[in-house]
Amino acid sequence: MNNVYNPPRSEMVEFLPPGATAVLDVGCSSGFFGGELRKRHEQIRLIGIDPNETAVRLARAIYDEVIVGSFPLAQNRLPDGERYDAIFFNDVLEHMACPEVALTAARDLLSPRGVIVASIPNIRHISVLGPLIVRDEFRYRDSGILDRTHLRFFTARSIRRLFDSSGWQIMEMRGINRGLRVGESRERRWIGAASCISRGWTDGFFFVQYAVVACPTYWSE
């Protein structure tokens, strides 16, 4: 597949832990997220890995080093002995048949106080539930929550279960990218009213993704 998916994901930059000096970006694509990191953290060392050769060629203009390959299969091609303060999985885990394997492998690449930072689409979003409940419709798309290349689907609860079963302790989990498509003003008013009436109970229906920061469970042992 030669398509290059390259959203900047600037909303994920704030989850970089303070003092981080080395970052691994799994599924870095053409490097737009790395570019956002560079804008705010010029001296950080950035390593990327992505299976798309076209994207990797573009990313090499931004990252210190980029590996062509899939994680964790190609992790032995990463710089030897290097450890990372943060390993980013921005909308990547849902593309894996066994994300647990990737999360387990990531532990061996962390610095002593390193963390995983992940963005994971929320299948409970109203844009999925609405058509499913009202029209009996579950149709894959070229991008978004129902991207046809997604192999796994997650809710907030199943995200917690995934990390817990893989040996990770979630330090922070936050819904991000709230709402629907730009211009859907009527739906946005309904979203606000529903959240107000339910005192936040319905918030999980309106986050496109969840951002997760997690550390190995042995931190607390």
Domain positions in the chain are 10-123+147-178+207-220
| Cα four-point dihedral sign 199, 207, 183, 129 | negative
Query: What pTM was estimated for this model as a whole?
Result: 0.88
| Cα four-point dihedral sign 34, 109, 215, 99 | positive
| Cα four-point dihedral sign 47, 51, 54, 55 | negative
pLDDT digit of tens for each residue in the chain (221 aa)?
345 557 789 999 999 999 999 999 999 999 999 999 999 999 999 999 999 999 999 999 999 999 999 999 999 999 999 999 999 999 999 999 999 999 999 999 999 999 999 999 999 999 999 899 989 999 999 999 999 999 999 999 999 999 999 999 999 999 999 865 444 444 445 555 555 554 455 678 889 999 999 999 876 55
**Which residues are bridge partners to 141 per DSSP?**
147
CATH number of 10-123+147-178+207-220: 3.40.50.150
Gap between the Cα atoms of 221 and 143, Å rounded: 40
